[in-house]
Amino acid sequence: MRELYPEIEPYRTHRLAVDELHELHIEECGNPDGLPVIFLHGGPGAGVSPYHRRFFDPKRYRIVLFDQRGSGRSTPHAELRDNTTWHLVADIEAIRKHFGIERWVVFGGSWGSTLALAYAQSHPERALGLVLRGIFLGSTGELRWFNELDGGARWIFPERWTRYLEHIPPQERDDMTEAYWRRLDSDDEAVRLAAAQAWSYWEGGSTTLVHDPDEIGNFEEPHAAISVARAEAHYFRNRVFLEPDQLLHGVERIRHIPATIVHGRYDIICPVKSAYDLACAWPEADFRVVLAGHSAADPAIVDVLVSATDALADRYG
């Protein structure tokens, strides 16, 4: 099985003002003359991590990564004004133009897969290929599956669900996302942080195939917890700023683009049904269901992702 490439550091970092409010943190890694790829992180609100650079051969790729609006080192931190799917699509295009890149590979997982599809369908002439993991289409069913009482995830991770549930009084539990949002948007910093950490514990520890219910998760650190929880609640309560089935209907615009779709069979955050629906609408795509959970770090998912980026480098190299 393929493994991640060795750790690398950026050869250049940038600050890009995309409007009067938001400034993005961007880094470039690998080969400045290599095949360009844009990495789209999950969340929304999570930001990029050093291991995200490692899905690409640094000798053959010019790797561009950025923290989306309100995420990571982009500023203002956790800012949700002028922060929608379509603002982020415009940001990706602004980055491409800033670097003078004509066309590039688009790589995204989880929320990043949503954003990759939205971007490619808006700018199909700019995408050389798509590598998508842990598909999330922003549907009502997906949102209720993981975050609401009538969803299914609570039956699989009951230990974590209990903490997520108990943060909200019984009389507000008919709409957990909205109840969390009221706290995440509170004027009281302590209230915001407590809600953010309860929200992030539920999601951030539910990603891997091998599950430890006592593991704190990926987003417990306050800076990350606040941006992830606020951004996710904001996007989810607004149905990800998409029309129903918009990304499935838009597949016709990108069916000619080489694509790999990989999804963990036991992904509890984003059930495999969404990836299946996307693959049915896009029969030309290379669709793989593997023994894994949601995490991009699960070995079976790493194997497919690295193989896919190597294949695109072979194709365009």
**Active-site positions?**
110, 267, 294
What span, in angstroms and rounded, lies between the C-alpha atoms of 8 and 6? 6
Helix (H) / strand (E) containing 127: strand 127-133
Helix (H) / strand (E) containing 290: strand 286-290
Eight-state DSSP code of residue 239: G
- Report which residue type is found at 220: E
**56 and 309 Cβ atoms separated by less than 8 Å:** yes
- For residue 66, which of 36, 27, 29 has the smallest C-alpha distance? 27
What span, in angstroms and rounded, lies between the C-alpha atoms of 49 and 81? 24
Parallel, antiparallel or unpaired: strands 23-30 and 12-17? antiparallel
